[in-house]
Amino acid sequence: MNIGSLVSRHARYRPDHLAVVVGNNRLTWKAFDRRVNRLANALFGMGIRKGDKIAMILPNCLELLEIYWAVAKIGAVVVPLSPLLRGQGLISLLRDSDAVMVISNSSFIDVLNPIKPKLAAVAANRYILTDVRGMTGYHDYQALMNTASDIEPGGIEVNSDDLYNIMYSSGTTGLPKGIMHTHY
């Protein structure tokens, strides 16, 4: 068993039980699993594959939870970064993590736009915003969700020793260090 299979397992055995409450959003396990599947399929459709690192710079929100679980389902690696990061500090962690995609919200556009040219590993079509439509240079999270299948992604083997996330230390004794966690 791996982290990515846990939501589907709960959706199968307790589909109508409450899974997530974020603000006014209340989702059952079945509904949450479908949303996570949509995002997993959307990311896979954008070329994200097992082992690819996806950075997210978000406050606590429903999308943050969906990203954690969707990334796990397709064997990619989530790299949560603090919304307090700016400039060179953010560039440093994005480069160090080998992130190939960045997911954030509109409050971070003024931070991301100036550094995008300095992030060679993140292709121009690999930036997603969770809360705004039609922003040049960014995909719309909801549009991606609306066009993707809610069926469980298939054909991806994720093992317990595969990398799941990279959390960065605060860097109190030097540069922040990436702490890697597996699915086990």
**Contact between residue 116 and residue 129 where contact means Cβ atoms under 8 Å apart:** no
Give the whole-angstrom CA distance, residue 64 versus residue 58.
7
pLDDT confidence of residue 177 = 95
pLDDT confidence of residue 2 = 83
Q: Find tokens 């080998």 and name the residue.
A: 98
Residue 19: φ, ψ to 5°:
-110, -45
**Contact between residue 7 and residue 1 where contact means Cβ atoms under 8 Å apart:** no
Provide the 10 A C-beta neighbour count for residue 24. 5
Helix (H, G, I), strand (E, B) or coil at 28: strand
pTM for the whole structure: 0.95
pLDDT tens sequence across 24-83: 999 999 999 999 999 999 999 999 999 999 999 999 999 999 999 999 999 999 999 999
Domains and CATH numbers, the chain: 3-182 (3.40.50.12780)
pLDDT tens sequence across 114-157: 999 999 999 999 999 999 999 999 999 999 999 999 999 998 99
Burial label, 71 (beta-carbon count in 10 A; 0-12, 13-18, 19+): buried
What percent of the chain lies above the pLDDT cut of 70? 99
pLDDT confidence of residue 184 = 86
Q: Find tokens 């990515």 and name the residue.
A: 4
Provide the 10 A C-beta neighbour count for residue 31. 18
